[in-house]
Amino acid sequence: MRKVAVIGVGCTSFGEKWETSFRNLFVEAGALALEDAGLSGEQIDEMFVGNMSAGRFVEQEHVGALIADYAGLATNHIPSTRVEAACASGGLAFRQAVTAVASGMADIVVAAGVEKMTDVGTGVSVDALAGAADREWEGFAGATFPGLYAMIATDYMHRYGLTREQLAGVAVKNHRNGAKNPRAQFRSEITVDTVINSSLVADPLRLFDCSPITDGAAAVIVAPLERAREFTDTPIRVLGSGQATDTISLHDRRDICTLDATMVAGERAFHAAGVERTQIDMIEVHDCFTIAELCAIEDLGFCAKGQAGILTEEGVTALDGDLPVNPSGGLKACGHPVGATGIKQIYEIITQLRGEATGRQIDGEIGMTHNVGGTGATVVCHILGV
C-alpha cells in the first residue's frame, strides 16, 4: 500500500445559506481545494462525495454525476461516486479516497462532502435524519435523533453522576471555539445558564445541547505521499484510518452509553498509524449532541468511562488544555451539514497542523477525527500528522 497525504483543502462557511444552491456549495468548496493545491480540474483522477440525503433535502439524487458535471469534470469522464453512511458520509468519502490512492488505482483524488438542509422545514429535516436510525423499530415509534441521544444522556447521567452543568460545559466550550472560527454557523460565546435555560428539545437535552440544521460543503484532495511536494510545501500525512459498524438500533446495543463502533474504529486507526493516545495533540469528535462528545472522548480511550464531563469541567478539552477537543467549534457551534461534517473535521485538523488556524491555533503534530453515522452504527476515524 502506498502512503497518502492531503495536498489541498477547501471549506465553505456553514449556516443557513439561502443565497447558494446545493451544487454551488460543492463547487465553492472544490474550487477552494483545487486553488489550495495549485491544481486544475483536468488533473483530478477520481472523486468521492459524501452526502446523506439530497433526495429528501433538495429532491436531487445521482449526486456523484451532478457534482462532477457542475465541477466542470463531466467531459473528462472521471469516476465520481456518492458515498452514504448518514452523518458519517464525509468521513467515509475520505476513507474511500485514501484507499483509492493507497491501492495505486488513482493518484489525485477529491474527497468531498455536501449537504443543504435548510430548504425544508425542521419537521422534514428531523424526519430525514431519523432515517439514519432504524425506521421500523425506532423512527416509526416516534424516536427522533434528539430523542435517541436523550436516552443515552439520561442513562449516562444516572450511572455516572454527570451533572447538568458538566453536560452544558461541552456546548460552552464548543461555542467558545466556534466564536474563533470564521466558517462557523454560531460565532457567539454562551454560558452554562444559556444552555440550561434554552428550550427543552428532548429531556434532558435542550436547544444548546443540539447541533443545528446546516448548509455547507468541504473538500480535500489526497495524493501519494511521494508526489505530495509537487503540489504543496505542507503535505499532511494520513497516518491511519479505521472504520467499524454496529447494530443500527440503539436498543440492540450491549450498552447504550458506549459506542462499540467508536472503540473499534478508533483502535483500528491507532493500530494502522502506530500512534499512542498520548501522542494525539487535538481531536475533532462527532458532538451531534453534548452527550456524544463525552462518550466519544471515553470510547476513543482518552479517559475512563464517566470521566469526560470532569475533564471538560477542568478545561482539559479546551483549546489551551492538554487534549483540545473540537477546535473548529464542533458540530454544535461550527454546524452540522450532515454529509459534509466528516470532511470539515479533516479540513480543521489539516488547518491546525499547517499552523493556519488563526485565533484558535493549537501547537501540535498529530490530530485525529471521529465521525459517527446514526447513533453509532457507522464510525470512521482518521489520524493525520505532519
257 contacts 42 by C-beta, under 8 angstroms:
no
Given 89, 96, 211, 326, the residue binding ligand COA (CB under 6 A):
211
Q: Which region, judged by CB under 6 A, interacts with ligand COA, from 69-77, 200-208, 231-239, 353-361?
A: 200-208
- CB 215 to ligand COA: min, Å: 12
Q: Residue 111 to residues 3, 94, 326: CA-CA distances in angstroms?
A: 16, 5, 21
State yes or no: residue 117 binds ligand COA (CB under 6 A). no
φ/ψ (deg, to 5) at 253 = -80, 155
| Least distance CB 225 / ligand COA (angstroms) | 33
What is the nearest approach in angstroms of ligand COA to the Cβ of residue 105?
31
Residue 112 forms beta bridges with which residues? 49, 219
Q: What is the size of the binding site for ligand COA (CB under 6 A)?
A: 15
The answer to whether the peptide bond before residue 182 is cis (omega within 30 degrees of 0) is: no
Known active-site residue 62: no
Quote the cell numbers at residue 163: 451533572
Which of the following is catalytic: 175, 286, 336, 382?
336
Can residue 191 be called a binding residue for ligand COA (CB under 6 A)? no
The verdict on 207 binding ligand COA (CB under 6 A) reads: yes
Is 286 one of the catalytic residues? no
User: 11, 87, 210, 288: which is the annotated catalytic residue?
Assistant: 87
Tell which one of 152, 170, 213, 257 touches ligand COA (CB under 6 A). 213
Question: Contact region for ligand COA (CB under 6 A) — 2-10, 62-70, 121-129, 349-357?
Answer: 121-129
Rounded Cα distance, 321 and 138, in Å:
38
Between 101 and 195, name the residue whose CB sits nearer to ligand COA. 195
Establish if 257 lies at the interface with ligand COA (CB under 6 A): no
Binding flag, residue 129, ligand COA (CB under 6 A): yes
Q: How far apart are the C-alpha atoms of 9 and 251, rounded to whole Å?
A: 39
Among 26-34, 66-74, 203-211, 270-278, which window interacts with ligand COA (CB under 6 A)? 203-211
Nearest distance in Å: CB 72, ligand COA: 32
Strand ranges in the chain using DSSP code E only, listed in sequence order: 4-11, 46-50, 80-83, 109-116, 200-202, 205-206, 215-224, 236-245, 282-284, 366-373, 378-385
Q: Which of 57, 208, 231, 347 binds ligand COA (CB under 6 A)?
A: 208
Determine if 25 is a binding residue for ligand COA (CB under 6 A): no
The position carrying cell 435548510 is 118
Q: Is 323 in the site for ligand COA (CB under 6 A)?
A: no
Q: Which of 169, 178, 212, 337 binds ligand COA (CB under 6 A)?
A: 212
Phi, psi of 198 (to 5 degrees): -75, 165
User: Applying CB under 6 A, does 34 fall inside the site for ligand COA?
Assistant: no
User: Quick one: which of 366, 357, 335, 355 has its CA closest to 118?
Assistant: 335
Q: Are 131 and 118 in contact (CB under 8 A)?
A: no
Alpha-carbon distance 24 to 337, whole Å? 15
Q: Does 126 bind ligand COA (CB under 6 A)?
A: yes
**Cross-strand partners of 82:** 49
- Sheet with 378-385, strands from edge to edge, namely 80-83, 46-50, 109-116, 215-224, 4-11, 236-245, 378-385, 366-373, 282-284
Q: Shortest distance, CB of residue 366 to ligand COA, whole angstroms?
A: 27
Instruction: Compose the 340-359 pattern: x for residues touching ligand COA by CB under 6 A, - for all others.
Output: --------------------
Q: Are 84 and 52 in contact (CB under 8 A)?
A: yes
Could you tell me the smallest distance in angstroms from the CB atom of residue 365 to ligand COA? 30
Rounded CA gap, 208 and 225, in Å? Answer: 41
Residues near ligand COA (CB under 6 A) are: 87, 122, 126, 129, 145-146, 201, 207-208, 210-213, 288, 336
Would you name the residues annotated as active-site residues?
87, 336
